[in-house]
Amino acid sequence: MHLAGKRTVEKQSFERQQSSHHHGHSHDDGRDSKHGLNHDHTHEHDHYNDYRKHIGKKWLTLLVLTIVLVCTVLISASVGSSGISIAEVVRAFFGGGQEVSRTILWNVRIPQIATGIAVGVALAMAGCIMQNVLRNPLASASTLGIAQGASFGAAIAIVFFQAGVQLGASSAVTHAITSPSLVVIFAFLGGIATTAVILLLARVSGVSPTSLILAGVALSAMFTAGTALIQYFADDVRIASIVHWTFGNLGRAGWNEIAIIFAFNVIAFLYFIYNRWNYNAIEAGTSTAKSLGVNVNSTVLVGMTASTLISAVAIAFVGTINFIGLIAPHIMRRFIGNDYRFLIPCSALMGAVIILVADVASRTIAMPAILPIGALTSFMGAPLFLYLIVKQGKRTT
């Protein structure tokens, strides 16, 4: 049994001949197999071009987003306590410009931007996949308590296992992580513990999507309390470092940390893209996905684990930055719908854009003071979260 092809092709070529006869050009004989074959090809080509046009819009979105990201990077690099013009930024980037610009750019701005991009990409991709596999538009690392779990884990590593030290008690900003791998491992353990509870509730107990978010509230309250308790027993120096870290700070990660976040991102991205059709199928419902040959259980399990891992790694180095994973995929769904072939890369870029915009805002709103970036993303994300709850409530009633 083969669908498609010949009959339609015959019909179409017949129609075409008719229309060309109408214009008095054609000498085709519909039964001439050679000509029929030619038509066959043109026809398929038409359909394919049609499809290319359809898919072209999505590629365009991806391209526009890349350009937006580049612009955001330039703006972010030029804005700060010592302003550098965008032209100077470009010059300094390619080794020209003034010595001082180069120093600021390469030692301060670029690491911070790179961190922002890495973290934004990680959180947005994780949110995008979690929303898909949990069949829940409200899911993200921060709304499910995974971010708080990861923070708790990282705090344990910093306080009890000396994974982090503060360089000079007076400067609260320069907190360095001495053992990144230990912090990552603990953050991941904290995050994955939360994920395990969420998955058990969702898959075994069959908790509804909205209740799952309530479970997230309970879990994040528990981990936030845990982090507070650790602070209570920690010495002054470490309290300062944890408190600062709970606000989120892109300026903390060094090149090593940035490289680690990027490495995890690349692996996760390849895995997610490889499974893009599985996510598209899951979007049609789990039964339908199974009937399309998707191993739903493993896709959900591995998808959640990978999402937890990349969020935990990002959170371990920059602290809690909420709602990126919620905002970015939802903005992109407006433009390209639920096609994960494009939603995954577009969300990733959008996550980077949002975090850089928030970072610029945090450095300019109350200049010269720098506001905590986590607070800003929460201000942006919380209203969207409420909007989504209202929207979901309307759909279920």
> Residue numbers of the site for other proteins (CB under 8 A)?
1-8, 11, 44-45, 47-48, 50-51, 54, 135, 277, 280-281, 283-285, 287-288, 290-295, 333, 337-339
Task: Rank residues 27 and 334 by Cβ distance to other proteins and give the closer one.
Answer: 334
Least gap, CB of 383 to other proteins (angstroms): 21
Task: Rank residues 293 and 368 by Cβ distance to other proteins and give the closer one.
Answer: 293
Ramachandran sector of residue 260 (left: φ over 0; alpha: ψ -120 to 50; beta: rest) = alpha
Contacts of 163 (CB under 8 A, 6+ apart): 157, 177, 178, 179, 180, 182, 183, 186
Task: Rank residues 245 and 340 by Cβ distance to other proteins and give the closer one.
Answer: 340
β-strand partners of 176: 165
Least gap, CB of 281 to other proteins (angstroms): 6
Q: Which helix (H) or strand (E) holds 177?
A: strand 175-177
Ramachandran sector of residue 28 (left: φ over 0; alpha: ψ -120 to 50; beta: rest) = beta
Contacts of 151 (CB under 8 A, 6+ apart): 187, 190, 223, 224, 227, 245, 246, 315, 319, 320
β-strand partners of 175: 166
How far is residue 76 from each of residues 105, 113, 213, 232, measured CA to CA in Å? 10, 7, 34, 36
Q: Residues 182, 260: contact at Cβ < 8 Å? A: no
Least gap, CB of 262 to other proteins (angstroms): 24
Least gap, CB of 63 to other proteins (angstroms): 19
Least gap, CB of 292 to other proteins (angstroms): 5
Least gap, CB of 332 to other proteins (angstroms): 11
Alpha carbons within 13 A on the beta-carbon side of 4: 4
CA distance 351 to 332: 10
Quick one: which of 373, 272, 393, 387 has its CA closest to 326?
387
Task: Rank residues 3 and 204 by Cβ distance to other proteins and give the closer one.
Answer: 3
Q: Residues 184, 113: contact at Cβ < 8 Å? A: no
Task: Rank residues 97 and 127 by Cβ distance to other proteins and give the closer one.
Answer: 127
- Residue 235's Cα: distance from chain center in Å? 35
Name the CA radius of gyration of the chain, rounded. Answer: 26
Task: Rank residues 7 and 34 by Cβ distance to other proteins and give the closer one.
Answer: 7
Copy the structure tokens of residue 383.
């209203």
Least gap, CB of 106 to other proteins (angstroms): 39
Total residue count of the chain as it appears in this document: 397
Task: Rank residues 51 and 271 by Cβ distance to other proteins and give the closer one.
Answer: 51
Least gap, CB of 206 to other proteins (angstroms): 12
SS3 168: coil
Task: Rank residues 98 and 297 by Cβ distance to other proteins and give the closer one.
Answer: 297
Least gap, CB of 285 to other proteins (angstroms): 5
Task: Rank residues 1 and 204 by Cβ distance to other proteins and give the closer one.
Answer: 1
Residue 134 CB burial class (10 angstroms; 0-12, 13-18, ≥19): buried
Task: Rank residues 5 and 83 by Cβ distance to other proteins and give the closer one.
Answer: 5
Q: How many CB atoms lie within 10 A of CB 122?
A: 32
Q: How many CB atoms lie within 10 A of CB 375?
A: 14
Least gap, CB of 37 to other proteins (angstroms): 14
